[in-house]
Amino acid sequence: MKELLPFIKSYLKNSKEVIEELKNIHIPPNTLLFSANVTAMYTNIDIDTGLTSISELLQTNYTDTPTNFPAQLFLKILEIIMKNNIFQFGPTYWLQLNGGTAMETPTACTYATLTFRSYENTTILQKFQNNLLYYKRYIDDIWDLDTIPRQPTNNLGNIQNNTKRLG
């Protein structure tokens, strides 16, 4: 599943990568720095939306996916995991009834990261792409350098942002 992460335009392997990438970017005056955190990303992901998003990712990147990658089997197993999650809390076991990412599974973080890509591409990047000098995401943390000076807003849906003017 982690082999699919580089197909996300904004993907960061780790937070150190942000520092290294920003060292090589000329930041013009009046650039805005945004850092945002996706609110409760794991629990807010509808399972069918997540599975559709990952299926679309596989279709879009079909030619770059390893030839032996079993896409249909992968999607079916992912559906079973997300819809039948049993987790332990202390000495008791629970079946997760409500949607959202199957917590406490090895797939949770990567699943959420891959799924958010769809919202990111259709909403955030589409709306702000002409203004973005830099836009990257590590799981649910977003870093953005915006080149058009304007009043900071908080109109990214369920995303809360903090703003600092640079230059």
Q: What is the pLDDT of residues 115-154, one digit of tens each?
A: 999 999 999 898 888 889 999 999 889 989 998 755 555 5
pTM of the model: 0.78
**74: DSSP letter:** H
Q: Which domain holds residue 54?
A: 2-166
Please check whether residue 50 is in contact with residue 82, taking contact to mean a CB–CB distance below 8 angstroms.
yes
Does the pLDDT of residue 167 top 80, yes or no?
Answer: no
Q: Kindly report, residue by residue over 16-59, the tens digit of the pLDDT.
A: 898 899 899 988 888 888 888 888 888 888 899 999 999 999 99
Burial, 22: exposed, middle or buried (Cβ in 10 Å; 0-12, 13-18, 19+)? middle
Tally the domains of the chain: 1
Please check whether residue 114 is in contact with residue 1, taking contact to mean a CB–CB distance below 8 angstroms.
yes
User: From CA 133, how far away is CA 28, in angstroms rounded?
Assistant: 9
User: From CA 110, how far away is CA 126, in angstroms rounded?
Assistant: 23
Q: Which pLDDT belongs to residue 40?
A: 86
Burial, 73: exposed, middle or buried (Cβ in 10 Å; 0-12, 13-18, 19+)? exposed
Q: Which pLDDT belongs to residue 1?
A: 87
